[in-house]
Amino acid sequence: MILFKYILRRLLWACLILVLISFFSFLIIQLPPGDFLTSYLERLTKAGMSLDSETMAALRHSYGLDRPFLVQYGNWFWRFLHGDMGISFLYGMRVEHVIRERLPVTLVITLTSMVIIYAISIPVGIYAARHQYSVADFTAAIFGFIGLATPA
């Protein structure tokens, strides 16, 4: 029973943390002045095209950008809980389709890099452990620290 309570408590904390992360991510996206349509209009203007104010207002309304921040977040979060990730501003298609289109290549790159990493690191780690305090051990440790310190 104690283990069940512990697991339940950890799951509730995990849910709360995920909600807070999504909220602050949404907030950070909203912080810069303007919105996607403003930057889109600037790109159109640089390309020599334009949109009238009625079309901009209609687009703002259809994307829900004319609503307050908390309403936008609440709508997004509610739809996300029901499996609707919305429409990508950049690609003009559903986010699920964008993810589904790019996921296979991402998985291939991830799995290939993991195989390479393990194929190199396990033998080097075994060698360094068997030859403790040798030059090879220190070299492997230095390269390991450099690898950890290098941003992805």
Do both 15 and 45 map to the same domain? Answer: no
Do both 96 and 136 map to the same domain? Answer: yes
Sequence-separated (6 or more) residues with CB below 8 Å from residue 66: 57, 60
Spatial separation of the C-alpha atoms in residues 116 and 101, rounded to whole Å: 25
What residue type is assigned to position 104 of the chain? P
pLDDT in tens, 90-116: 888 999 999 999 999 999 999 999 999
* Listed residue (80, 89, 100, 79) closest to 18, CA to CA: 80
Do both 39 and 69 map to the same domain? Answer: yes
Do both 95 and 128 map to the same domain? Answer: yes
Do both 96 and 128 map to the same domain? Answer: yes
SS3 94: strand
Domain of 45, in residue numbers:
35-84
Do both 17 and 39 map to the same domain? Answer: no
Spatial separation of the C-alpha atoms in residues 147 and 92, rounded to whole Å: 38
Q: Tokens 């309304």, residue?
A: 61
Do both 132 and 98 map to the same domain? Answer: yes
> Residue 152: pLDDT above 80?
no
Do both 97 and 134 map to the same domain? Answer: yes
Do both 64 and 101 map to the same domain? Answer: no
Do both 111 and 151 map to the same domain? Answer: yes
* pTM of the full structure: 0.66
pLDDT in tens, 15-31: 999 999 999 999 998 88
pLDDT in tens, 126-143: 999 999 999 999 999 999
Total of domains in the chain: 3
Do both 142 and 121 map to the same domain? Answer: yes
pLDDT in tens, 46-81: 888 877 888 888 888 888 888 999 999 999 999 999
